[in-house]
Amino acid sequence: MNPIDRFLGIFSHDIGIDLGTANTLVYVRGKGVVIREPSAVARHKKTKEILAIGTSAKKMMGRAPVAIEVIRPLRNGVIADFDATAAMLSHYIKKVHETESTFPKIPRPRVVIGIPSGVTEVERRAVAEAAIDAGAREANLIEEPMAAAIGAGLLIEGPEGNFIVDIGGGTSEIAVISLGGIVLGRSVRIAGDEMDEAIINYVRLKYSLLLGQPTAEAVKIGVGGVEMGEDKDAQKETKLTVVRGRDLETGLPKSIKLTSEEIQEALSPILQEIISNIVDTIEETPPELTGDIMKKGITLAGGGSLIPGIDKAISEAAKMPVYIADDPLTCVVRGCGLCLEDNGLLKRIRVTKGL
Ligand code: ADP
Ligand code: MG
């Protein structure tokens, strides 16, 4: 590394970035998680000029005039739009250096970026290069399930097997980790987004009502679940959610009431699909590691792990304990952060190096 970069590095913030399909989070070494925004970019359709990034871009989703497009750069767990991904990365690297400093800093940070494991080697290099272009003096890429496992506090460097499932927006990442590496992994494109879609389809077929994605997501986060709370009578009464959409017959706005049972019914096929991928992965796991995993159980991370009852449903199907990580939405970025705090760790786990 050249001495000028090394010198400027003293004045930079080392940062960890979770480039998720739904949310981008930024961790600053010594400070913790400082940014949490949706992974969204609004830009001019023709000129490709970037108009907004993150929360302000997401607010424009479904409301923007025809000349403006709001995209999710990592939609299906692959980099759907490279330029937008690079713009997001550079925006956050600069933002951290503007807002987190008492005096202006020249951004020459070390960065650790968590990306979905389905991203190809070529795209990985391109992301690392984009971080370098944004000013990073060193860019390290780490696979999301690995970062999630570190953030969830699993002992990934030991010889014992760990099983992590990160249910995000675009992908569910399932991985078996041992001796600091991913032994076996799957990245399936069935996660939070498909749950929203399932609610939209269910309501469209049953009530001829078209819901917007934000409404469907709110329904999912509010009362979606695979099972209602225990048999205590008080909890047995059905929760109702009022949703507003467009009546497909009249074309006019209409509200209906959805019961929690209906939402469970809508979500059930998606949850079953995730569960069957988990069970298949367990079956493919080398027997030595299966023994450890049976004892230690499965750890869940990502926003999808907050669907009530999902842990119980997985536990029943996989016949082993299931734990939800603390603060599951920040596991990946905290894992990236721990790699910054402990340089040795970064060297011991397999990462893609930037330039
Ligand atoms: P990614 O890593 O792909 O960016 P996240 O781990 O940030 O994804 O999770 C985002 C997904 O989790 C979204 O689909 C969101 O709707 C969902 N989600 C967030 N909170 C909850 C909740 N409380 N219950 C159910 N789903 C949730
Ligand atoms: Mg994630």
User: What are the beta bridge partners of residue 345?
Assistant: none
Number of Cβ atoms within 10 Å of the Cβ of 341: 13
| For ligand 1, mutation pick of 21, 146, 219 (most atoms within 8 Å of CB) | 21
pLDDT at 167 over 60: yes
pLDDT of residue 102: 58
What's the average model confidence in pLDDT over 266-288? 97
Which ligand 1 atom lies nearest to the CA of residue 308? 24
What's the average model confidence in pLDDT over 9-37? 90
pLDDT of residue 99: 73
CA distances from 196 to 20, 193, 216, 320 (A): 17, 5, 5, 28
Task: Give the burial class of 288: count Cβ atoms within 10 A of its Cβ; 0-12 exposed, 13-18 middle, 19 or more buried.
Answer: exposed
| For ligand 1, mutation pick of 24, 25, 274, 306 (most atoms within 8 Å of CB) | 306
pLDDT at 353 over 80: no
Q: What is the pTM of this model?
A: 0.91
Which ligand 1 atom lies nearest to the CA of residue 329? 6
Instruction: Find the range with the poorest average confidence among 215-219, 249-253, 345-349.
Output: 345-349
Task: Give the burial class of 63: count Cβ atoms within 10 A of its Cβ; 0-12 exposed, 13-18 middle, 19 or more buried.
Answer: exposed
Mind listing the pLDDT tens digit for each residue in 176-210?
Answer: 999 999 999 999 999 999 999 999 999 999 999 99
What's the average model confidence in pLDDT over 75-86? 88
pLDDT of residue 222: 83
Instruction: Find the range with the poorest average confidence among 69-73, 95-99, 254-258, 333-337.
Output: 95-99
Q: Residue 144: nearest ligand to its CA?
A: 2
Two tokens, residue 75: 């939609």
pLDDT of residue 62: 80
CA of residue 211 to ligand 2 center, whole Å: 25
Residue among 98, 187, 87, 172 nearest 131 (CA):
87
Task: Check if 307 has its Cβ closer than 6 Å to any atom of ligand 1.
Answer: yes
